[in-house]
Amino acid sequence: MEVREPVQQMTTDRQIIEEEVVKAKTEELEHKPNIDILKHTSEQNWQKEIAQFIKSKEIKQRSGEGVDELEDCDSFGEINFIGFGHGSKSAPYIRVDKNTNAEILWDLLINYWHMPRPKVLISVTGGAQDFFFKDRLKNLFNKGLYKAAVSTGGWIVTGGTGVGVMKKVGEAIKEESKGTTNDSHRHVVALGIATWGIISNNTVMEKSSKNGDLHEGFWPAEYVEKELKLSGKQTSLDSNHTHFILVDHGKVDYGADIGLRANLEQFINTKQTKEGKEKSAIPVVLVVVQGGVGTIETVYKSLIPPQDNSSGDSKVESIPVVIVEGSGKAADAIAEALRKTKQVDSTGIRDILEGMDIIRDVVDPKRINQTKFQECLGWFEQMMSSPYREMITVFRMQEENFKDIDRAILHGLLQAKSLTDNVRTQLNLALNWNRCDIAREEIITAERRTKWQEASLEGNMMTALIDNRPDFVELFLQHVIHLDKFLTIERLNSLYQKVIYSKQSIDGRTSTIDILRTRLESYQLKGITRGDECRFLLRRVGKVIQELTFHEYDRYYKEEKYVLKESVPMTTSANCKDDEFECPDQHLFLWAVLLNRREMAKIFWQRLTIGNIGSALFAGRILKALSRHAEIEEELTLYYDLTNHADEFEDLAIGVMDNCYEDDKKMSKLALVRKLTDWGGTTCFSIAYAAEQMKFIEHDCCQTKLQRVWKGNVQIHSYKQWIAYVFAAIFPFIIPFMTFLTKDYQVEYQEEENKESKKVETYKELSRWDKLKNVLRWKSNYKPGKGSEIRRVGGRPDDVTLWEGMGYYYKAPMSKFFFNIFLYVVLLFLFSWFILTDLRPASEENSPSVVEWIVIAWVATLIIEEFRQIHSKDPKSAFYRVLSWASDAWNIFDFLMFLFFIISIILRFTLSTEKFYRARIFYCVTLMLFYFRLLHMGFVQKDIGPKIIMIFKMLKDLMYFLVILIIFILSFGIASEAILYPNMEPDIRVFFKSIYKPYWQLYGELFLEEIEGLTDNATCYEDPRYVERCPETEQYPWVAPVLTAIYMLISNILLINLLIAMFSFTFQKVQEKSETIWRFYRYELINEYYDRPALAPPLIIFNHMYRFCKWSYMKYELKSELNKEKQEQKKADVIKKHETKMSHCLRVRLDDRLEDYLNGFEKKHMENYFIKKNQEYAKSWESTVTSSGDRIDKMSNDMEEMRELIGVSGKQETTQVKPPTGEQRQSIHSTTPNDEMATQIGQLTTKVSQMENKMDEMVNQNGQLTTKVAQIENKMDKILEMLEKSLSLKTESEC
């Protein structure tokens, strides 16, 4: 769009410049890319569309000043403000007649000017002349008005000129928009409706070019600040407004805009905020600042609008009013009248109004005729009467009800008659505004309890969920909504459907919605048509959850009831059936987690009654799985957001575990290993390990439980017990002298059997919330046991039998580990023995040897154990079991190790004597892998485990480094080889010969004699390295040495030191978290040996045979019982019976009552966690500084108020009382005695000085806090520096 420089007159030079600019623009358009041409073309089409609309609607304007004749509108286009501030601003405008239809203007604003559809209309009226605004009131007005417009998505409507209250509104928009970085907040719609005749230099906007009969408007109309002539009634437009409607009535006088503005506001008030079944009118509020008689009339007509009989039966609604008291004149007069007539009946209002001096100051009978004065009093009288006074809201800076003007504006909006009795509509408006504070303090209140309890607010709850309004959801759940009755299958399906298939990517970036949509589209169920996909949406969501959790748990929503009967939208009147959702909070929690809605997920997590620790860990796992998808899509912003969200839930789980562990250590440990029936039968340990939640597994509760599981039922707390434990492996007769722990948890029911059975039957019929209440009620009779009991082997009733003691000893994971190590070392010895002494071809006699056959059989048992581990994985399908098994790097290593062993055996029996060396090579490599496998067993040791982790991390660094190194080796190797041995025989081995020398040169073998050509034919052919030919160095004797020098400089100095630096960085990074990493991987080792059979290979084959027989019997028993009973419940009972485990284990299935007790135990400590967290924040220095700042602001506001009361300027640093003038002295003498006034002034001065002293104390305290914080930070920096130096010195010493 062309921008011309402002000048005072049209001269020849300006015409020349304009022609050159047009020529340059034309050339620029010709050479611009197609996208710019299309943009320019679209702007031209938009301008033509506006011109055609104005012509088709026959919009008129006055043909001239003082003329009543109308003509077609030709004054429209875009104003370009020049010289009004930094840069130039543009705003669409149109000049219309005062009788123009409001519907036509609405069509122009929305469909052609493309203004956003308003949710609220804030009409600001008041003084048309410049007036003084108190600083504090000005700041409150600017922030409040801007915040109200931004938070509600509303329009601000003013007179549009650069004087009076219109100028104040423009300044407010300009100042407040500077402090925000949000683009949507920077573009607040400010519509100016001004009178055409009073606009200075309006002639620049009525010029237009014509194309036939179509007026094309003026694009742009340059409105230059230097060309304005402000005199008399002439004024300028305010450049901070975004759109202008200029009303023409043929006169140079105010008032033409009042009627059209009122009609437009009333028309907008009848429009709907959104389409759909529930529609609500766009609310309008009138904000009054200062003003005179015209303002009073505007307020009167807003409250008591004249009814238009021509419009039929439609009634014009009253518009609520907000008065800004303290702005002066009309605003203060109305506020004072409301205050004085508050307790007066309608018959005495007139007398009070006639005696009010402030009304006479605004409506001066000397300046207007008596008839007008009486009419104004009549307006006041009607406005002060009930029911209209309730629609007036007064903003006073001293009142606590409305600390900000935006609160007063939104409160006034809700006072409209069409909204006062409709709670649902009011909540819809509050939801559209995203102002939960308004809903909490104005709508969902104790005084209106009967109204919002009788209303059906399920639709509002759905809106809050879909639009991600967590504050509203929390408010509804606290007071209005019962989830058991609210959540239905139809509603849950609708929540997924409306969010996933309606929302688009944010700012063009990929979101979790896009990931879910992609995953859902990949699960197209067989036999389902495209139109019926929404009916099966929950089933597909269940498959997505199952995929994100690696198929380790049962799929959600797989039952037939989760398929909608008809593909129709849900109804708000749907009632929840008893069997639809046992725990509705869990399903909404999953919904919020999948959509990455943090606050919403936290709200439902706090309401869960199915184990808060496991639920938080499960949410973290889903979020980590989503983050991996985001990483694959290379959406790093989303990846970090999801990762941080997962870390938040992990921190929540740790916080709850802290509180639980402080209260009851035994029950906390039990919470870690119990099977979470609502989360697929998994445990907190397995979830945390699968999601790599290292901080949680590092927790003391987790480590003490793992240590207990590691030792099994064997008690080892002293060196004597350790010695007895070690020697018991060699001398089993020591086992009877050892001590054992026979209990880990117990529940004592201190009730009679007949009462207990009756209560259990009743208990099973209760809902989840009733179960939790009863568990807490029965807590005194339902206690955890005293803990583990120490027993010895003996003959007393409480003693452990010898057989049980041996079982405890040999089944302990620690015992299994040491026996496996011992026998594995024996295997390595036998493997090494036959490779070194007796590995001969199969064709020879006594080959293979007996030792080799033993090793083969031994390794076969190891392979069978690997298959058992795959079968015991959590995923339900075989494919995902293999994937889960392969996700562990050690299992991949085992696969390669066994693969090499199988290949070795095949080669050993198939190769002839001449080629038998190949089998020997494979056997040797396999033996190396078997030795490397010992490193895995080092994870159990605290000092060795982190070092092994460092080795693997450094191997990854080495792989990346080799990619760089190979490039240099190939480049220098091939170049030097081609120089030394030109025209070699074509053979693929030339490449291997080329990299031979540069690789060994890294380790110091330089081959200088060959490179420098110091060898002759005799020595060359005697050297086995030069069998084929000698190097040729006669022509270029210096090239090869130079290349070698450059290569050695880069490789040995640069690259090797780079590798050392990479290793140092990895070492430092792992060393900082060595304890955490070791504890995490230690769980995997303990879990592996806990699941392993008691006997070690090769004796493990007997355990495998026993387990296979037991598994076969279980299947037979299950099948026979199902055939007999034919009930699914029987199947669950049989499985539960066979899944019952011993104590001190990693997976425990609890009975219903103990499980609900643990749920209540976790929920209680979850609440305690948040209480402690809030208390810690209240004591923190951040809270102290914040509260100090708030108190300082309050003190400052009080001082400003004091200064205003005694007439002292707020800008002075010290309070001084100005001596009164002569007129003031006369006024004082005429009203009060001198002594009384002096006393009052002295008291006020004392109060101000006291307030200043308090504020100085607060500032000093704040400064001291800041100084202390800075000192602490400096000390921490010094400590960190010392730690870094010590670590670097330690690293150097180790190197």
* 1205 or 711, which is more confident: 711
Q: Which of 912, 911, 908, 910 is nearest to 834 (CA)?
A: 908
Q: Is the dihedral of CA 325, 326, 330, 332 positive or negative?
A: positive
* 1001 or 1141, which is more confident: 1001
Query: 53-62, 333-342, 532-541, 816-825: which has the minimum mean pLDDT?
Result: 532-541
How many angstroms separate the CA atoms of 443 and 449, rounded? 9
Question: How far is the first Cα of the chain from the last one, in angstroms, to the nearest whole number?
Answer: 68
How many angstroms separate the CA atoms of 612 and 1184, rounded? 31
How many angstroms separate the CA atoms of 1093 and 1102, rounded? 9
- In this prediction the pTM is 0.77
DSSP 566: S
CB atoms inside a 10 Å sphere around CB 870: 16
Residue range 1170-1202, pLDDT digits in tens? 998 888 877 766 556 656 665 666 666 666 556
How many angstroms separate the CA atoms of 256 and 246, rounded? 9
How many angstroms separate the CA atoms of 338 and 389, rounded? 7
* β-bridge partners, 77: 93, 218
- The distance of Cα 1096 from the centroid of its chain, to the nearest Å, equals 49
Distances (CA, A) of 647 to 298, 654, 690: 57, 10, 14
Give every CB contact of residue 202 below 8 A, 6+ residues apart in sequence: 196, 246
* β-bridge partners, 235: 199
Tokens 């790093």 sit at which residue? 636
- Is residue 615 within 8 Å of residue 671, measured between CB atoms? no
* Segment 811-824 mean pLDDT: 92
How many angstroms separate the CA atoms of 1206 and 1199, rounded? 11
| Res 6 pLDDT > 50 | no
> Strand 210-211 relative to strand 214-215: parallel, antiparallel, unpaired?
antiparallel
| Res 662 pLDDT > 90 | yes
Helix axes 470-479, 458-466, angle to 10 degrees: 150
* Chain mean pLDDT for the chain: 78
Region at 77 (left for phi over 0; alpha for psi -120 to 50; beta for the rest): left
Give every CB contact of residue 470 below 8 A, 6+ residues apart in sequence: 597, 599, 600, 602, 603
* Segment 434-450 mean pLDDT: 82
* Segment 185-213 mean pLDDT: 75
Give every CB contact of residue 272 below 8 A, 6+ residues apart in sequence: 279, 280, 281, 282
* Segment 737-765 mean pLDDT: 49
Q: Where are the beta strands (DSSP E) in 503-561?
A: none
- Is residue 426 within 8 Å of residue 440, measured between CB atoms? no
Q: Which of 130, 166, 379 is nearest to 287 (CA)?
A: 166
Q: Of 627-641, 1121-1135, 1137-1151, 1255-1269, which has the strongest mean pLDDT? A: 627-641
pLDDT at residue 8, as a whole number: 38
| Res 523 pLDDT > 90 | no
| Res 761 pLDDT > 50 | no
pLDDT at residue 799, as a whole number: 76
H-helix or E-strand spanning residue 80: strand 76-82
How many angstroms separate the CA atoms of 864 and 853, rounded? 17
Residue range 304-324, pLDDT digits in tens? 887 654 444 456 778 899 998
Residue 251: both structure tokens together? 């006169």
- Polymer length in residues for the chain: 1295
DSSP letters, 366-388, are TTS-HHHHHHHHHHHHHHHSTTT
Give every CB contact of residue 338 below 8 A, 6+ residues apart in sequence: 323, 384, 389, 392, 394
Tokens 């002539």 sit at which residue? 229
pLDDT at residue 853, as a whole number: 94
pLDDT at residue 168, as a whole number: 86
pLDDT at residue 573, as a whole number: 43
pLDDT at residue 86, as a whole number: 62
- Is residue 60 within 8 Å of residue 72, measured between CB atoms? yes
* β-bridge partners, 93: 77, 244
- Grade residue 374 by pLDDT with cuts at 50, 70 and 90: confident
- Is residue 1070 within 8 Å of residue 945, measured between CB atoms? no
Q: Is the dihedral of CA 1093, 1095, 1098, 1102 positive or negative?
A: negative
Give every CB contact of residue 171 below 8 A, 6+ residues apart in sequence: 142, 240
| Res 1044 pLDDT > 60 | yes
| Res 574 pLDDT > 60 | no
Q: Is the dihedral of CA 346, 352, 358, 360 positive or negative?
A: positive
* Segment 476-495 mean pLDDT: 90
- The distance of Cα 444 from the centroid of its chain, to the nearest Å, equals 28
pLDDT at residue 648, as a whole number: 95
Helix axes 598-607, 612-632, angle to 10 degrees: 160
Region at 229 (left for phi over 0; alpha for psi -120 to 50; beta for the rest): beta
* Segment 1279-1295 mean pLDDT: 57
Region at 1004 (left for phi over 0; alpha for psi -120 to 50; beta for the rest): left
- Grade residue 864 by pLDDT with cuts at 50, 70 and 90: very high
pLDDT at residue 860, as a whole number: 95
DSSP 931: H
Region at 1126 (left for phi over 0; alpha for psi -120 to 50; beta for the rest): left
Residue 1043: both structure tokens together? 């290349």
Q: How many CA atoms lie within 13 A of 814 on its CB side?
A: 19
* Segment 833-851 mean pLDDT: 90
- Grade residue 441 by pLDDT with cuts at 50, 70 and 90: confident
* Residue 953 φ/ψ, nearest 5 degrees: -65, -40
| Res 721 pLDDT > 60 | yes
- Grade residue 746 by pLDDT with cuts at 50, 70 and 90: very low
How many angstroms separate the CA atoms of 1164 and 613, rounded? 12
Q: Is the dihedral of CA 989, 993, 995, 999 positive or negative?
A: positive
Residue 628: both structure tokens together? 């991996």
Give every CB contact of residue 223 below 8 A, 6+ residues apart in sequence: 79, 80, 81, 82, 201, 204, 205, 237
* Segment 846-872 mean pLDDT: 92
Q: Which of 519, 524, 465 is nearest to 495 (CA)?
A: 465
pLDDT at residue 834, as a whole number: 92
What is the number of helices (H) and of strands (E) in the chain?
A: 53, 18
* Residue 323 φ/ψ, nearest 5 degrees: -100, 130
* Segment 198-211 mean pLDDT: 72
* Residue 91 φ/ψ, nearest 5 degrees: -155, 130
pLDDT at residue 932, as a whole number: 93
How many angstroms separate the CA atoms of 683 and 694, rounded? 15
Residue 1110: both structure tokens together? 């037991």
- The distance of Cα 462 from the centroid of its chain, to the nearest Å, equals 20
Residue range 666-681, pLDDT digits in tens? 899 999 999 898 888 8
